[in-house]
């Protein structure tokens, strides 16, 4: 692991630029498939460093690929830069105070995610250039992770097919290797159309689309008892039909997110939910339109790459925080309730009484994670490895104002730059030891067996066709 020190020094030299980029993306706070400014900023940054950039890949305006070098191996760094709706928040304060009421905010830290992957790609590019090595470094600009499954659309377009291995990370409140199995999912709209009428004078002439939505939700809630234990059903009523109770609602809509450990289980539940929707339409004399929005696959872990990254992470250590940063983290933690404070200790008891994580969690192998990520689709195609670094105070939760506020401080910046070092050094180690890459690829083939990757999104579905504010 002779390259660790040199790569770390390279990333430190870039720190001001990378922090500036992350801050700009934080300020843009653009949601799924609308990240025009964020994507262009990253594209220009790559081009300034000699990367050839292809914009609008996979049929997505805000997706792109930056490439440098030639030949094998092809190394992919995955970058994200989308924000969440309704999470606008001033940075660096310990109270909830939006910059813009109802505005967007980076509540999942993707401004850090995309910027660290950029730093890692640039550092590896410099190492390859300075040492005359062969290999292709790619930065994948992946939009719409939040409620859009951008990488699944990109995978459907074959954009990862020639990649030898890929690297990613996620900002968290602890330091670890992400050896997890995530949930596959499907997101789908159910749009009911009925008939309006005066709710008092002629209710018998109306056919309520809102009644259909409510009956569908009741049926889906009864279904929960009869699906696999680790499955999840979430829904949001995105159109309740208006604001006049004396009018029978002619149109109403509900958006469902269906999750389960395996894509086949998701499809089974999805069909049953569709049947419930049709039943609700029959009961209310309405019509239902079923609109598939997006989907993603479960994550396929890569133990070979994970063990390599863990060894690198051990040598690098973990981010260190100043007394001032720890004081701010402690202030943020006063906004958490007892359950939030205690939640992380169930899994990571070593963080008890700590305001910022200061240890690397032991590598224990694959564990379940009851969330979803479109990185899963990439992991079915090529061996993929991820880490987490401490970017937020211990016990804070994703998709909250606390993450928006602290993610744009020096705490978030330190975790971001450290993740870049871990990813770049891991890529260099794998570049130096191609036998590890071959072993990881063979392991993935064995895990897949006779289940080749099939994108869970039907070919006729286009990214971002159904505009929705997903949080």
Residues 92-136 pLDDT 10s = 999 999 999 999 999 999 999 999 999 999 999 999 999 999 999
SS (H, E, C) the chain: CCCHHHHHHHHHHCHHHHHHHHHHHHHHCCCCCCCHHHHHHHHHHHHHCCCEEEECHHHCCCCEEEEEEECCCEEEEEECCCCECCCCCCCCCCCCCCCCCCCCECCCCHHHHHHHHHHHHHHHHHHHHHHCCCEEEEEEECCCHHHHCHHHHHHHCCCCCCCCEEEEEEEECCEEECCEECCEEEEEEEEEECECCECCCCHHHCECHHHHHHHHHHHHHHHHHHCCCCCEEEEEEEECCCCCCCECCCEEEEEEEEEECCHHHHHHHHHHHHHHHHHHHHHHCCEEEEEEEEEECCCCCCHHHHHHHHHHHHHHCCCCCCHHHHHHHHHHHCCCCHHHHHHHHHHCHHHCCCCCCCCECCCCCCEECCCCCCHHHHHCCCCEEEEEEECCCCCCCCCCHHHHHHCCCHHHHHHHHHHHHHHHHHHHHHHHCHHHHHHHHHHHHHHHCCCCCCCCCCCCCCCCCCCCCCC
pLDDT at 466: 65
How far is it, in rounded angstroms, from Cα 355 to Cα 330?
A: 5
pLDDT value, residue 352:
87
Report how far residue 234's alpha carbon sits from residue 221's, in angstroms, rounded to the nearest whole number. Answer: 10
Does position 302 have pLDDT exceeding 80, yes or no?
A: yes
Condensed to tens digits (0 to 9), the pLDDT of residues 373-418 reads 999 999 999 999 999 999 999 999 999 999 999 999 999 999 999 9
Going by CATH, does the domain composed of 184-296 fall within 3.40.120.10?
no
**Same CATH fold assignment for domains 4-182+298-448 and 184-296:** no
Give CA–CA dist 278/274, Å, rounded. 6
Can you tell me the distance from the alpha carbon of 161 to that of 179, in angstroms, rounded to the nearest whole number? 23
Provide the whole-model pTM.
0.94
Percent of the chain with pLDDT over 90: 90
Tokens 């430190």 map to which residue?
Answer: 12
pLDDT of residue 1: 67
- What is the reported pLDDT for 381? 98
Question: CA-CA distance, 181 to 365, in Å (whole number)?
Answer: 10
Q: Provide the mean pLDDT of the chain.
A: 95
Percent of the chain with pLDDT over 70: 98
When pLDDT is averaged across residues 353-371 and rounded to a whole number, the result is 90
pLDDT band at 371 (very low <50, low <70, confident <90, very high): confident
pLDDT tens, position by position, 43-54: 999 999 999 999
- Are 160 and 381 within 8 A, CB to CB? yes
Tell me what pLDDT residue 463 has: 86
Is a pLDDT exceeding 50 seen at residue 163?
yes
- Identify which of 141, 125, 109, 92 has the alpha carbon closest to the alpha carbon of residue 26: 109
Question: Are 235 and 217 within 8 A, CB to CB?
Answer: yes
CA dihedral of 151, 153, 155, 158, whole degrees rounded to 10: -140
Model confidence at 471, pLDDT cuts 50, 70, 90, reads: very low
How confident is residue 345, by pLDDT bands cut at 50, 70 and 90?
confident
pLDDT bracket for residue 353 (50, 70, 90)? confident
Res. 470 pLDDT band, cuts 50 70 90 = very low
- Is 4-182+298-448 in CATH node 3.40.630.10? yes
* pLDDT higher than 50, residue 148: yes
Q: With beta carbons less than 8 A apart as the criterion, state whether 361 and 389 touch.
A: no
Domain spans of the chain, in order of start = 4-182+298-448, 184-296
- Lowest mean pLDDT of 197-206, 273-282, 297-306, 363-372, name the range: 363-372
Tell me how far CA of residue 202 lies from CA of 193, 195, 196, 205, 283, in angstroms. 18, 12, 10, 6, 19
């Amino acid at each position: 692991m002779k390259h660790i020190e040199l790569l770390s020094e390279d990333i430190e030299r870039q720190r001001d630029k990378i922090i500036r980029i992350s801050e700009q993306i934080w300020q843009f706070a653009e949601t799924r498939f609308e990240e025009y400014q964020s994507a262009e900023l990253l594209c220009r940054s790559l081009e300034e460093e000699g990367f050839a950039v292809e914009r609008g890949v996979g049929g997505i305006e805000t997706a792109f690929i930056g490439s440098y070098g030639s030949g094998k191996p092809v190394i992919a760094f995955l970058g994200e830069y989308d924000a969440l709706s309704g999470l606008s928040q001033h940075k660096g304060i310990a109270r909830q105070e939006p910059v813009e009421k109802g505005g967007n905010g980076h509540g999942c830290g993707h401004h850090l995610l995309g910027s660290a992957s950029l730093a890692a790609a640039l550092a590896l590019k410099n190492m390859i250039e300075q040492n005359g090595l062969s290999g292709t470094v790619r930065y994948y600009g992946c939009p719409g992770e939040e409620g859009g499954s951008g990488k699944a659309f990109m995978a459907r377009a074959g954009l990862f097919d020639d990649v030898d291995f890929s690297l990613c990370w996620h900002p968290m409140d602890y330091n670890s290797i992400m050896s997890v199995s995530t949930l596959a999912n499907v997101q789908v709209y159910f749009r009911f159309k009925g008939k309006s009428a005066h709710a008092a004078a002629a209710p018998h002439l109306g056919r309520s689309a809102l009644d259909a939505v409510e009956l569908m939700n009741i049926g889906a809630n009864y279904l929960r008892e009869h699906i696999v234990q680790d499955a999840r059903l979430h829904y949001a009523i995105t159109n309740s039909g208006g604001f006049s109770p004396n009018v029978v609602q002619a149109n109403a809509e509900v958006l469902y997110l269906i999750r389960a450990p395996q894509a086949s289980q998701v499809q089974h539940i999805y069909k049953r939910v569709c049947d419930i929707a049709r039943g609700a339409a029959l009961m209310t004399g309405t019509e239902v339109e079923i609109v598939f929005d997006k989907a993603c696959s479960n994550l396929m872990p890569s133990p070979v790459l994970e063990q390599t990254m863990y060894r690198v992470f051990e040598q690098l250590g973990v981010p260190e925080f100043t007394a001032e940063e720890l004081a701010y983290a402690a202030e943020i933690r006063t906004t958490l309730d007892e359950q939030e404070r205690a939640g992380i200790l169930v899994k990571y008891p070593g963080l008890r009484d700590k305001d910022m994580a200061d240890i690397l969690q032991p590598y224990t192998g694959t564990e379940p994670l009851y969330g979803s990520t479109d990185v899963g689709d990439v992991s079915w195609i090529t061996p993929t490895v991820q880490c987490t670094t401490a970017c937020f105070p211990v016990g804070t939760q994703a998709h909250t104002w606390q993450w928006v506020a602290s993610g744009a401080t020096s705490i978030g910046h330190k975790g971001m730059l450290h993740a870049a070092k871990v990813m770049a050094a891991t890529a260099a180690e794998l570049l130096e030891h191609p036998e590890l890459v071959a072993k990881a690829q063979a392991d993935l083939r064995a895990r897949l067996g006779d289940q080749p990757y099939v994108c869970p999104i039907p070919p006729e579905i286009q990214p971002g066709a159904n505009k929705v504010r997903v949080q």
